[in-house]
Amino acid sequence: MEINSIGIIGAGQMGNGIAHVMALAGYEVRLSDVSQDTLDKAVALIERNLDRQVSRGKISAEDRDAACARIRPTLDVVEVAQTDLVIEAATEQEAIKQKIFDGLLPHLKPNTILTSNTSSISITRLASRTDRPEKFMGFHFMNPVPVMQLVELIRGIATDEETYRACLAVVDRLGKTAASAEDFPAFIVNRVLMPMINEAVYTLYEGVGNVRSIDMAMKLGANHPMGPLELADFIGLDTCLAIMNVLHDGLADTKYRPCPLLTKYVEAGWLGRKTQRGFYDYRGEEPVPTR
């Protein structure tokens, strides 16, 4: 099963990063979103990030130009459906993802592989609602995609070996490393990472430490490159809460109960860097803790 073209649905933080690395690896990319403005911003960001790689000597100017030429932004879902591999990279809400796959199904080629970049939602359940559960799997990139070396490959209960091998070959071509995960809530990375972040929020909620002391303690005491609250802001507090809810609902264990303070920040619309406020306020020259 040879893959030459990649369709990406969602041109946000994850989608534009996936388009970047796929185009740089030589794949023809169709990048789709519901908004032309979002597509324009995504392409401009990809170009800036490629320019940065050129300035640092990581790629040549010729590589950059060739990668840019391989990315075709489109509002037409049919163009995306006609690729060899589709990666859904929309927001972490199952209803939205399901609607996207429903719209794709009538236009897919017979051998097109469907994948989701979901960080926590059941691959088996998403796949079961399509016409090709054997050609469906999780393709979970880490953020920021051009920098992070890991990709989680998650097989649903029906995913066949050929589909897995085809996706593994794509990861190899990207120069990244694949971690194979079973289809249980939040897979590997977020099953371990999100409870740590949630516990850091509980530590803040209970007054054990403030934002700065908690992050400093984990950076200097555990040698983490970012503190857990700083990392939560980078990921997006809405995404963190969504994953914790998946863990709590899917495993029925109180240790995964989302911290009420995390819920409160999301209700306030303080989602982290993308809204300029989360556990830190990013509206000034330097981030300032909000607690």
Residue positions forming the annotated binding site for NAD(+): 10-15, 33, 92, 97, 119, 143, 274
Instruction: Answer yes or no: 162 catalytic.
Output: no
CA distance 77 to 83: 11
CA distance 11 to 96: 15
User: Is it true that the peptide bond before 73 is cis, omega within 30 degrees of 0?
Assistant: no
- Amino acid letter, 138: G
Instruction: Answer yes or no: 224 catalytic.
Output: no
Name the catalytic one among 5, 32, 119, 120: 119
CA distance 186 to 47: 32
CA distance 117 to 8: 10
Name the catalytic one among 20, 116, 140, 198: 140
For residue 105, the cross-strand partners are: none
Structure tokens at 107: 């236009």
Name the catalytic one among 16, 32, 117, 190: 190
Residue 30: phi and psi, rounded to 5, are -115, 110
Name the catalytic one among 116, 117, 152, 230: 152
Instruction: Answer yes or no: 190 catalytic.
Output: yes
Instruction: Answer yes or no: 119 catalytic.
Output: yes
Annotated binding site: 10-15, 33, 92, 97, 119, 143, 274
CA distance 246 to 117: 15
Give catalytic residues, as residue numbers.
119, 140, 152, 190
